[in-house]
Structure 1
Amino acid sequence: MKHFIIIFLAVLIIPFKLIGQKDLQNKIEVYIKLAEENYSKENYDQAMINLDSASALDPDNGEIYRIRGMIYYEQSESRRAINEFNNAIRFDPGNPETYFYRSLVRFEVGDHRNYSLNDINMAIELQPDNAIYYIEKANYLTSTTYPVPEYNLAIQTISQAISIDPENAHYYAIRAKYNSDSDQLLASLSDYSKSIEMDPSIAEYYNKRGIIYLRIEDYLKAIEDFNSAIQIDPLNENYIISRGQARFNMTEYETAILDFTLSIDTIYRKISEVPGQINLDHPLNKALRRSYFLRGSALLQSESTFEACQDFEAAANLGESRATSYKRRYCR
């Protein structure tokens, strides 16, 4: 009889134990889900509270550390983020996202590139069909903080991303940039053309292809592309400057001067909308000094030396070193 009672009690206890474990797991999952929702809404403090609640119930859960690391990453607390990702990998070494995010943080803080490459390679090994991982790996390979960017390997890596997601116009544009940076200009033209074919609404694709046409001295096609870029984004001073540069190279100085004048006017309107003063390294000031210098050069070619010297003076005051040498040479 006693034996029967013991068996009966054991049968009762085991289901209750399983129910208790299931309830506990459900609570953990609820806290993690709340943390993810708050993370996506950028409610980081509340997400941390949710994660602390989950961690109190399951301190060995890698997902908790991963999300906490992502929050620290968003808050620019890089070293704390890396520590959390380290813990996440210790408890859950099979999650590719953790390696991916740790690679991002390590790259941003300036750790040796190989650390980031090792992490992104592990992410790719765990999830080889994720195109984003290949894109980021190519970014690491082409980093100019290292003596020799590995463009050919990066191009191969981007090609793998394209094979996974062949309808992504942006991926072709990235490969086009790497081809351009490594002086493979015809390949770059082909990729930018593919990007434009797939998404003709992006002004920057036309601008970048136009710059390649500038480099190979096909100025008419360059102007066509700059016109297309300006039509999409008429207030982009860089597109206007590039068109002026193409016209200058064709010795069409009068129309080049019109473009550089338009870019100067556009830049001043933008500067007037910026609160406070902007420094010389601000992108608008960089574009302004370039516009003055190029307009001065076009005016000089048009034998308007006085006006040219005024532009060289303005460019020099904005930090354009070439303008200083032009002043010495042409302005007496």
Structure 2
Amino acid sequence: MYRFDKIVLSFGFAVVLSVLLFAVPAIALPMSGKDFFNLGVTAMQRGDYPDAIDNFTEAIDIDANLGAAYSNRCLAYLQLGNYDLAAEDCSQALRLNPRSTEAYLNRGLAWYRLGDYQAAKLDYNELLKIKPYDFRAYYNRGLADFALGEYQEAIADYNHSLLQSGPLDRAQFAEIYNDRGLAHLMLKNFPVAISDFDLAIRFNSGDARGYFNRGCACLYSGNYIMALRDFNQVLALTPNDGQAYFYRGLVRYQIGSQYAAMADLQKAAECFCNQGVTIAYQKTLQLIRQILSSDSAIG
């Protein structure tokens, strides 16, 4: 970004003063840190994160104590996947304002993205000391709990998030119910998990994630017909979903439709290959070979 420097003009003495007054252009004043900060906010709103970072950096260069510039630059770095830089900016924002709940929230997300789930939880704990009713902190801490395999703790945090959430849009409610359902699924509480996925679908019927999760819960609980229905719905919404083909193939194999199962697994392998998901592709090929070997041995 460019700063406007004061322009020094010189004029000949022959110029009449009255003419000089009209001829002199308006002198641009230097932009302040807050001016650049506001430009950064505008860039964030239109989704231009590199430009936002440039403007927040200009703001910080002018006023190194502008904590909001660090917090907002952190958000831009998060959007671009620069999680180390995001964490650094939030740490600086917290040095300037130790009670900045947004800085704790955003740094927690940066730690989460970096895989440091314990550090993320510590930041959410600090946030909740300052703002005990922040549903975002409970929800994000639940995600960190889940990543650590602490499924009961995750469920408790998702419950708090729902209690404190107030008026959320339907998609946000669907996210929370989906994630709580996954925690119940990991604990093999299949009926409770299915109930949560039902709620997620009710709040956002166009989101394939709810159908996929419910399909998995139905598969693991032995309800193959319901699982088949849900995976069909996933593929109606997202036709190139390799995981949905894979799990539908498993369902079809369980109910004795070997030909349809093989077709689904081959389609899953194709999707994984095209999407560069190497491990899933290799595991799918391995399963296909096992099935073919098993069928050959039986024959």
1:298 to 2:251 alignment? yes
Counting matched residue pairs gives 255
Greater C-alpha radius of gyration: 1
Relative to the length of structure 2, the TM-score reads: 0.74
Q: Do 1:85 and 1:102's aligned partners in 2 also have CA atoms closer than 8 Å? A: yes
1:125 to 2:89 alignment? no
Q: Do 2:83 and 2:110's aligned partners in 1 also have CA atoms closer than 8 Å? A: no
What is the deviation of 1:198?
3.3
Q: Do 2:245 and 2:268's aligned partners in 1 also have CA atoms closer than 8 Å? A: yes
1:149-178 alpha-carbon deviations (Å, 9 max, x no partner): 322121111122223333332221111001
1:41-78 alpha-carbon deviations (Å, 9 max, x no partner): xxxxxxxxxxxx99922x26322333344456657473
Equivalent-residue separation in structure 2 for 1:178 and 1:197 (angstroms): 19
Q: Show the counterpart of 2:270.
A: 317
Q: Show the counterpart of 1:151.
A: 117
1:138 to 2:108 alignment? yes
1:56 to 2:34 alignment? no
Q: Show the counterpart of 2:153.
A: 187
Q: Do 2:49 and 2:80's aligned partners in 1 also have CA atoms closer than 8 Å? A: no
2:260 aligned to 307, 313, 326, which one? 307
Q: Which amino acid aligns with 2:132?
A: P
Q: Show the counterpart of 1:278.
A: none
The 3 A distance-change label for structure 1 pair 88 and 159 is same
Q: Do 2:49 and 2:76's aligned partners in 1 also have CA atoms closer than 8 Å? A: no
Q: Which amino acid aligns with 2:37?
A: R
Q: Which amino acid aligns with 1:239?
A: G
Please, what is the CA RMSD of the aligned residues? 2.9
Q: Show the counterpart of 1:196.
A: 162
**Helix, strand or coil at the partner of 2:206:** coil
1:281-300 alpha-carbon deviations (Å, 9 max, x no partner): xxxx2xx2212211111111
Q: Percent identity?
A: 24
Q: Do 2:71 and 2:102's aligned partners in 1 also have CA atoms closer than 8 Å? A: no
Q: Show the counterpart of 2:14.
A: none
What is the deviation of 1:239?
0.9
**Helix, strand or coil at the partner of 2:205:** coil
Q: Which amino acid aligns with 1:133?
A: A
Q: Which amino acid aligns with 1:326?
A: L
What is the deviation of 1:189?
1.0
1:221 aligned to 170, 185, 192, which one? 192
What is the deviation of 1:328?
2.0
1:327 to 2:299 alignment? no
Unaligned residue ranges in structure 2 (runs of 5+): 1-24, 273-279
The 3 A distance-change label for structure 1 pair 166 and 254 is same
What is the deviation of 1:190?
0.4
The 3 A distance-change label for structure 1 pair 247 and 164 is same
Q: Which amino acid aligns with 1:260?
A: F
State which drifts further: 220-229 or 123-132: 123-132
What is the deviation of 1:184?
1.8
Relative to the length of structure 1, the TM-score reads: 0.67
Q: Do 1:60 and 1:91's aligned partners in 2 also have CA atoms closer than 8 Å? A: no
Q: Show the counterpart of 2:204.
A: 233
Q: Which amino acid aligns with 1:327?
A: I
Equivalent-residue separation in structure 2 for 1:110 and 1:257 (angstroms): 36
Q: Show the counterpart of 1:93.
A: 64
Q: Show the counterpart of 1:264.
A: 235
The 3 A distance-change label for structure 1 pair 108 and 239 is closer
Equivalent-residue separation in structure 1 for 2:92 and 2:116 (angstroms): 19
